[in-house]
Amino acid sequence: EPERRSWLDKLRQGLKKTGSGIAQVFTGTRIDDALYEELESALLMADAGVAATEHLLHDLKRRVKETKATEPAQVKALLIDAITELLAPLEKSLEVGHTTPTVIMVAGVNGAGKTTTIGKLTRHLADARQRVLLAAADTFRAAAREQLGVWADRNQVDIVSQEGGDPAAVTFDAVQAGKARGCDVVIADTAGRLATQLHLMEELRKIKRVIGKAMDTAPHEVLLVVDGNTGQNALAQVKAFDEALGLTGLIVTKLDGTAKGGVLAAIALWSRQRQAPVPVYFIGVGEKLEDLQTFSAREFAHALLS
Ligand code: GDP
């Protein structure tokens, strides 16, 4: 429990930049049009986007009417409820172990925190007694391969890596090795060069296909790591990668110290409008191994407005 409190404090502290403008709206004495207008600007400033902002305002007004709230403080509590309800469908825990190995493909643009997140995820799974193997499918960047190697060492797990090799071939080898060695989970780190987006998406699709060939089924998880601090840009990435790859889950990083945490609301609205919702399995709240946390809608909503 102390550990849980400490990351919640971290999230709270981190989201202060996002939430201060929103919390500020409720310091007055009246519930009037000015309050709603201020709230609209604050949500937009927090990068919730136009659609999610409208959704939340509409839902909030309904709640205010229903509860006959008279104080701004009550409206603030109702907003926490509205945000919680919008974000709740994003909650889901990552399940591994149903197939051996469970193959997790991880995508994300360079700098999003992909490699660090894989390191944290590996620790999380190792703690749950899962045997993990890493695949360095970003064969182009030597630094990426080396960095993943450092995480493999730190977590004492195997890694399949090949200098300058074909990313799909390395992934195929890793999945075969994972099967042969009786691993529970294979995590493939992929490239994230956004400059050549078309080529990148083609490469990622090929990796996905190859995993399918090696496993006789599509990858169990196709995860996207996005930097929460990029706000609406993160949403654009989610849409682009989903269109190209079909995502099964998200990990949103850098929610410690961002002014753009409202993007979670935008992602939630997008996910809701999709045929099958895409969950946020984890959020990143720092650079350390333990700074990967499962996503809780209510905790997030509270942290946002605390
Ligand atoms: P990649 O290029 O996507 O593989 O990104 P990296 O894993 O190399 O991460 C880029 C930078 O972001 C590094 O300095 C990480 O320590 C940092 N980083 C990753 N996740 C988080 C997070 O949740 N919070 C903070 N503050 N920094 C993070």
| DSSP secondary structure of 195-219 | GGHHHHHHHHHHHHHHHHHHHTS--
Q: What is the structure's pLDDT at 4?
A: 64
The Å distance, Cα 35 to ligand 1 centre, comes to 37
Provide the mean pLDDT of the chain: 93
| Residue 97: predicted pLDDT | 80
Give me 239's structure tokens.
Answer: 């849409």
pLDDT attached to residue 47: 94
Separation of CA 239 and ligand 1 centre (Å):
21
% of the chain beyond a pLDDT of 70: 98
Among 40, 24, 59, 5, residue whose Cα is nearest residue 262: 40
Position 3 scores a pLDDT of 66
Q: Which of 7, 110, 116, 290 to mutate for ligand 1's pocket (most ligand atoms within 8 Å of CB)?
A: 116
SS3 221: strand
From the number of C-beta atoms within 10 Å of its C-beta (0-12, 13-18, 19+), residue 128 rates as exposed
Strands (E), 29-179: 102-107, 132-136, 158-160
Q: What DSSP string runs through 117-145?
A: HHHHHHHHHHHTT--EEEEE---S-HHHH
In this prediction, the answer to ipTM > 0.95 reads yes
Q: What is the mean pLDDT of residues 223-244?
A: 96
Q: Is the CB of 171 under 6 A from ligand 1?
A: no
The verdict on pTM exceeding 0.90 is yes
Give the sign of the dihedral formed by CA 213, CA 215, CA 217, CA 220: negative
**219 Cβ inside 6 Å of ligand 1:** no
254 is in an annotated binding site: yes
pLDDT, tens digit, 9 for 90 and up, residues 45-100 = 999 999 999 999 999 999 999 999 999 999 999 999 999 999 999 999 999 988 88
pLDDT of residue 140: 82
